Amino acid sequence: MRSIEERAKVLEDVRLPVKLKLSASWAALMFLYAYGDIFAYFRRGFIDDVRGGEVFDFHINQVFLVAISLYVAIPAVMVVLTLIMSPVISRWVNVVLGLVYAATILLSTIGEDYVYYYVLSILEGAIAVLIVWYAWKWPEHSADSTS
C-alpha cells in the first residue's frame, strides 16, 4: 500500500516564455478596454451624448476617431508584435508602451465618478505595470550560450 506522500500528485507548472506573458498581458488589457467602452453605453445620457457628437467632453470628429482607433489598435497589435519582434526591440517597445499606457490610464480616471471605471482602470494599470515589469526583467543569457 502506497503512502499518502507517494500518491500525492503535483500539478505541472510550465515556465512560460516572456514573449507569451507579454502577449497575453496585452490581450487582457484589450479585453478590459473593450468592456469599459461597452459599459459606458449603460451610463445615463451617454448614448444621447454620442448621438449629439460628444463623448467624455470630446467632440467626435475624424481626428478624435483616428486618435482613439490608434490608441486601442496599439495594444491589439502588440499582442502579435511582441511574439514576432526580436527580444531586444520587443523589450524596449514593451517598456515604453507599457509606461505610456499606465500613465494614460491613470490620467483618464481624473474626474471620473463611476466606480466600475476605477475598478477597470486599476486592473488595466496593474496589467500595464506588469508589462513593464516583465519586459524590464526579461531574462538574459550570454550570446555563446547553447540553451
pTM of the model: 0.84
In a domain, 99, yes or no: yes
Q: 146 in a domain, yes or no?
A: no
Task: Check residue 13 and give its pLDDT.
Answer: 86
Distance separating alpha carbons of residues 134 and 78, to the nearest angstrom: 14
**pLDDT recorded at residue 6:** 63
Q: What is the pLDDT of residue 135?
A: 98
Residue 40 located in a structural domain: yes
Residue 98 confidence (pLDDT): 98
Predicted pLDDT at 1: 53
Residues 85/138, Cβ–Cβ less than 8 Å: no
- What spatial distance separates the first Cα and last Cα of the chain, rounded to whole Å? 42
Q: What is the DSSP letter of 101?
A: H
Q: Is 4 within a domain?
A: no
Which tens digits make up the pLDDT trace of 99-125? 999 999 999 888 888 999 999 999 999
Residue 76: its pLDDT value, please? 95
- Number of folded domains in the chain? 1
- HSE value, Cβ hemisphere, 13 Å, CA-based, for 75: 26
Q: What is the pLDDT of residue 3?
A: 61
Residue 109 domain-assigned? yes
Q: Which domain holds residue 95?
A: 16-136
In a domain, 120, yes or no: yes
Residues in the chain predicted with pLDDT less than 70, given as ranges, are 1-7, 144-147
Q: In which region does residue 45 sit, left (phi positive, over 0), alpha (psi from -120 to 50) or beta (all else)?
A: left
Whether 145 is in a domain gets the answer no
Residue with cell 490608441: 71
Is residue 73 assigned to a domain? yes
The pLDDT score that the predictor gives to residue 112 is 86
